[in-house]
Chains A and B, each alone.
Chain A
Amino acid sequence: MELSASDPILMPALLFTLILFPFLAAFGAYLAVSDRLLKVIIVVTGVALVTASLVLSAQVPFSFALSPDGPIAFRAVIEVADFALLSLIFYFGWKHRHPTIMALAALQGVLLLYVQFLLSEGQAHWPVFYGDNLALIMIFIISVVGSIICFQALDYMKAHEQHQGLDRSRRSRFFSIMVLFLGAMNGLVLANDMAFFYFFFEVTTLCSFLLIAHDRTPVAVSNALRALWMNCLGGAAFTVAMTGVALHVNSLDLSRLTSAGPADGVLLPALAFLGLAAFTKAAQFPFQSWLLGAMVAPTPVSALLHSSTMVKVGVYLVFRMAPAIRGTFLSHCLAVFGGFGFLAAAALAVGQSNGKKVLAYSTISNLGLMIACAGLNTSAALTAGVLLILFHAVNKALLFLCVGTIEQRIASRDIEDMRGLYTIMPVTALMTVFGVIMMIMPPFGLMLGKWMAMEAAATNLFVIVMVTLGSALTVMYWARWAGILMSDPFAGRFTPERQPWPTWTALGCLCLGGGILSVAAPWLYSLWFTRALSPGYEPPYGVHGGILENAVGAFAVWPLAGVAAVGFVLAVVAVYRAGGARIVKPYVSGLQTDTPGVFTGPLNQPVQARASNYYLSSLFGESRLTVWFNLAAVALLGLILGGAL
C-alpha cells in the first residue's frame, strides 16, 4: 500500500488535535469552575475533534515517525507513563484491598521491564503512528459519536446530580475523564508502536474504572473493581503478547506484524494473547460481567463505553491482527468464538426485562458478530465487520441516550414500566422505536452489515448456524420492546414532551445520522472500503446505482430505501387518516368499565386485565444459562490459546 508522504506540519498538528488536545481539555475541564466554562470546553473539544477527523480523511493512509532528536523524547515519556499508570492501578488495587488487581499490575510491570530490556536502545525507529481507512472510520466514530454523547451529558449530569443531592458538584471530574477517554481512544486507534498502544489501552481501562465508580455507591465501586481486574487481565495478556513479539521480531511495530502475512512460530501464540486482550475489552464471554456491571454508571458513560469507545478497542484490535492470522487455525477459532458470543448474548438478552441489560447483552452479541467477521477473514467478512462497527456505534449511542432520557422521566429502566411510553414521551418513544428499527430492519446499515456477514459466513457451518439462531433471538428481544413503547392507552393528540435542547440535538443528530449513513452506505463503501482495508483483501462488492453486488448476492440499498420510504409515507398517511377513526377499548372478554384495562368480572367485581412480556426465564434466564455459557467460552478460549501454541 502506498503511504502518502505525511505533511511535516499538518500531520503533527492533526495528531496533536486528535490525541493531545483532549488530554489538555480534560485538564481544563477538571479545573473548570462554572457550567458555562465546562460547556465551552466540551463544545470546543468536539468541534476540534470532528474538524481534525475530517481533515485526516484526506491524509490516509499515512505513517508517522517521531524524529529521535526532536524537542521532546515522546518515547521515553510514554515508557515512563506506562509505569506511572501501572503504579496508579496498583494503588487502586491496594486501596480497595484487591489482590488480583495488584498481582496483575505487578505482572504487567515486570513484563514491561523485560520488554524494555529485550529491545536495545536506538532501535526504536519504526513509525509511532499509522493510519488506514479502518483507523479513519474509528476516528470518525470516536470523534463524532463520542462528542455527541459528551454534549448530551451536560444536561443529563446536571439532572443526575440534582437527583443525587450532592453538596458539591463532581461534574468537572466526570467530564474531565470523559474527554480524556476520547483522546486515549484516538491515540490507541492511531498507535503503531505497541508501547504507545499499550499506554492508551491502559488509559481506557483506568478511565472506565473511574467512570463506572463515579457515583461512589458500594455497588458502583465493586462493579468498577470488577471492570478493573478483568481489563487488567486483558492488559496482562497484551504485555505477554508484546513480550512474544519483541522476542520474535525484536520490534514493537504493529504494522510490520500484520503486513508480513500469515504468522507462524512464536508469533502465533503472541497473537492469540492479543486476541485474549481484545476479548476482555470487548466483554466477550466469560468476561461479559464487567460490561453488565458498568450499567450502574450514569447513562452517558454506558453510551460511551458501548458505542464509540472501550468495547470497540477489542474489536479494533482483532481487526488489526486479522491479516496476520489469515488462513490459520487461530482465525477459524476466532470465528467460532465470535459466533458463539453472538448467539449466547442474544439468548441472554431475551431473558431480560431491564432495558439497560438488554442493551448491554445486545452490545456483547453484536461485538461477537464483529469478532466472527474478523475470524472469517475474507474481504467480504471484514467489510461486513467494519460496517457493523460503524452502524452499531451510532445506533447504540442513540438507544442508550434514549433509555437515559426515559429513565430520568419515569425513574425506571425496566421495559415493563415503558408500556405506553408514547403517551407521556411521544418523541423519545418514537426515536427509541426508530433506533430499534435501525437495529433489525433493512435497508438500514446494521442489516446491510449483517447481510454481508451472513453471506460471508455461509461456508462456515458452525458460524452460520449460530448466527442464524442468534439473529432470530435478536429480532425477538427488539420487536417486543418497540411494540410495548407504542402500547395503550391511546394518546389522542400528539404533544411533544419538553427536554433541554442539547438532548434533542444529540438524539436528533444520532437519528438523522443513522438514517443518512444507511442511505449513504454504497457511497461510503466506494469511498473507504474499495481502497482495501488491508493489502491482500480485494474489494468484495461492486457498486452501481446504489446497489452492492457481486457474483454471490446483491443488496439494493437505494432501491430498497426508496421503496421503504414510500411504504413508510403510505403507512403514516394511513395513520393520519385513522386519526378520525373511532377509538375503542382493547378487548378484554368482559364488560368494559370507564377505567382503562378494567372489566367487570364475576359478582360484579372490577378486574384489572394485565399482560406482560414473555421473558422465558426458565429457558433464557441468567441464572440458568450464564454458568454454561461461561464454561463453553472458557473451553473455546482454551482452544484458541492451546491451538496457537
Chain B
Amino acid sequence: MNEGLLVAGFALVGAPLLGGLITGADRIITARLQARIGPPLIQPFYDVAKLLGKEQIAVNVWQVFGACAYLMASAIAVVLLALRTDLLVILFTQAVGSVFLVVGALASASPYSQVGAHRELLQVLCYEPLLILVAVGVYLHVGSFKVSDILAWQTPLLSKLPFLFLALGCVLTIKLRKSPFDLSTSHHGHQEIVKGLLTDYSGPILAFAEIGHWLETVLLLGLCALFWTTHWLGMILLAGATFALQILIDNVSSRMNWRWMLGYVWAVGLSLSVVNLVWVQAR
C-alpha cells in the first residue's frame, strides 16, 4: 500500500517533468531538421509557467471543467500504468481525458473550436480500436491484461507482436498530434481552423491542456516500452527510437484530411492488428 502511494507520487511528479523534457527535445530536433537552432530544452516549462501566470479568461466555465478533467484523467492513467494495473482500464481512463478535452472545446461556440473538437473525435475513432487491439494482442500472447504480468514476461513482446507495434506507432502519430494526422489542433499554427480544438483554451487552462498532453505522451511511450521489457535499456531505446521516428514522419509529411485518415488508419492499422492477432492465436 505504502509502496503503491510512493510509486503514484513519483509518477505524478516525474511524468510531467519527463513529458516536458521530451517535448523540449522534440522542439530542438524538429528545429534542427528545419535548419534552425531551436529553443532551449526546458522551453516547454517556461511556456507553461508563463501560461499559468496569466489572467484566466474563458468563453464558458465548462471549458475550465473540461481542461481540468483532461489533466486529471491523464494523470490517473499514468499513475495506473506506474502501479502496473490492468491495461484496458488504463486505456479507458486515457479515453476519459480525451472526451473531456473535446467537451471543453465544444463548450465554445467558435466554429474553429467546434470543427477541431469533431476532428478530435474522429481521431479518437481512429486510434481507440487500435489501442484496445494492442492490449488484446498483448493479452493473447502473455495471458494477462495486467502490466505487472507483462513486465515479468521473459522474451521481448516485439518479437511476437511486430505488426501490433506498428499499429501502436500509428496511434502514437495521431496522439502526439503529428503530421499527417495533425487534424484537430493544426499544430503548425494559423491554418484553416486556427488552433482547432485549442482555439478558445487560453491562459492557465491552456497550460492544463499542455501538461495533460505531456502526460499522454509519457503514457503512450510507456506503452511502447512494454514491447521490450526484458531490459531497461531496451525499453528506453525502443521508446526513444519510436519517438525519433515520429518526429521524422512529422517533418517529412504534410497534413491530410479526415477521410484519408479514417480510411488509412482503419484499413492499414486494423489489417496489421488483425494479422498479428491471428498469428498470435494460431501459435
Contact = CB atoms under 8 A, between A and B. Distances in A.
Are A and B interaction partners?
yes
Interface of A: 419-420, 422, 440-442, 447, 451, 454-455, 458-459, 461, 464-465, 468-469, 471-473, 475-476, 479-480, 482-484, 486-490, 551-556, 560, 563-564, 567-568, 570-572, 574-575, 578-579, 581-589, 596-597, 609-614, 619
13 contacts: A442-B89, A451-B88, A458-B136, A458-B139, A468-B136, A487-B108, A488-B60, A488-B107, A560-B76, A571-B69, A574-B64, A609-B111, A614-B121
Interface in B236-283: 262, 270, 273-274, 277-278, 281
A476 B121 contact: yes
B56 interface: yes
B64 A575 contact: yes
Most buried by B among A552, A583, A613: A552
B156 interface: no
Given A468-B128, A571-B69, A578-B61, A486 B95 contact: no
Given A473-B125, A567-B76, A468 B60 contact: no
B92 A442 contact: yes
Given A487-B107, A586-B113, A581 B61 contact: yes
B59 A472 contact: no
Interface in B103-159: 103, 105-115, 117-118, 121-122, 124-125, 128-129, 132-133, 136, 139-140, 143-146
B128 A471 contact: yes
A380 to B, nearest CB: 12
B85 interface: yes
A32 to B, nearest CB: 44
Contacts of A564: 76
B106 A486 contact: yes
B65 interface: yes
A483 B104 CA distance: 7
Given A419-B109, A575-B64, A586-B108, 19 more contacts: A454-B136, A458-B139, A465-B133, A475-B124, A488-B60, A490-B60, A552-B146, A554-B85, A564-B76, A571-B64, A574-B68, A581-B61, A583-B60, A584-B58, A586-B200, A587-B194, A609-B110, A610-B111, A614-B121
Contact of B110 (A447, A581, A587): A587
Nearest to A490: B60
B272 to A, nearest CB: 12
B230 interface: no
Contact of A570 (B68, B102, B273): B68
A582 B59 CA distance: 8
Nearest to A615: B118
B132 A468 contact: yes
B114 A578 contact: no
A587 B61 contact: no
A568 B143 CA distance: 34
Contacts of A619: 262
B72 interface: yes
Contacts of B86: 451, 553-555
Given A451-B92, A479-B99, A581 B58 contact: yes
B109 A609 contact: yes
B85 A468 contact: no
A454 B111 contact: no
A468 B129 contact: yes
Interface of B: 55-62, 64-65, 68-69, 72-73, 76, 85-89, 92-93, 95-96, 99, 102-103, 105-115, 117-118, 121-122, 124-125, 128-129, 132-133, 136, 139-140, 143-146, 194, 199-200, 262, 270, 273-274, 277-278, 281
B31 to A, nearest CB: 28
Contacts of B273: 465
B62 A575 contact: yes
Contacts of A560: 76, 89, 93
B139 A552 contact: yes
Contacts of B122: 476, 614
A613 B109 contact: no
A473 B114 CA distance: 18
Q: Is the interface of B mostly helix, strand, loop or mixed?
A: helix
Contact of A488 (B92, B108, B194, B270): B108
A464 to B, nearest CB: 6
A479 B128 contact: no
A623 to B, nearest CB: 19
B64 A447 contact: no
Contacts, number: 207
A596 B109 contact: yes
A480 B106 contact: yes
B108 A578 contact: no
B113 A587 contact: yes
Contacts of A473: 125
**Minimum-distance CB pairs A-B, first 6:** A483-B106, A586-B110, A488-B109, A611-B114, A567-B72, A571-B68
Given A471-B128, A583-B57, A611-B114, A556 B65 contact: no
Contacts of B93: 442, 560
Most buried by B among A465, A471, A579, A581: A581
A483 B117 contact: yes
B143 A552 contact: yes
A486 B129 contact: no
Nearest to A461: B277
A579 B61 contact: yes
Contact of B59 (A441, A465, A585): A585
Contacts of A476: 121-122, 124-125
Which residue, B60, B65, B129, B262, has most C-beta atoms of chain A within 10 A?
B60
A574 B106 CA distance: 18
A106 B92 CA distance: 51
B109 A461 contact: no
A455 B109 contact: no
Contacts of B56: 578, 581-582
A419 B140 CA distance: 44
Contact of B92 (A447, A479, A489, A579): A447
B151 to A, nearest CB: 15
A479 B68 CA distance: 17
B274 A461 contact: yes
Nearest to B102: A479
A584 B110 contact: no
Choose among B65, B99, B143, B200 the residue with the greatest number of A CB atoms under 10 Å from its CB.
B99
A442 B96 contact: yes
Contacts of A490: 59-61
Contacts of A440: 95, 99
A488 B59 contact: yes
Contacts of A588: 110-111
Nearest to B262: A619
Contacts of B62: 422, 486, 575
Nearest to A470: B129
A480 to B, nearest CB: 6
A553 B65 CA distance: 31
B133 A468 contact: yes
A589 B145 contact: no
B98 to A, nearest CB: 8
A587 B212 CA distance: 23
Contacts of B144: 551-553
B262 to A, nearest CB: 8
Contact of B132 (A454, A486, A487, A555): A454
Nearest to B87: A553
Given A442-B96, A552-B145, A554-B85, A479 B60 contact: no
A567 B76 CA distance: 9
Nearest to A482: B103
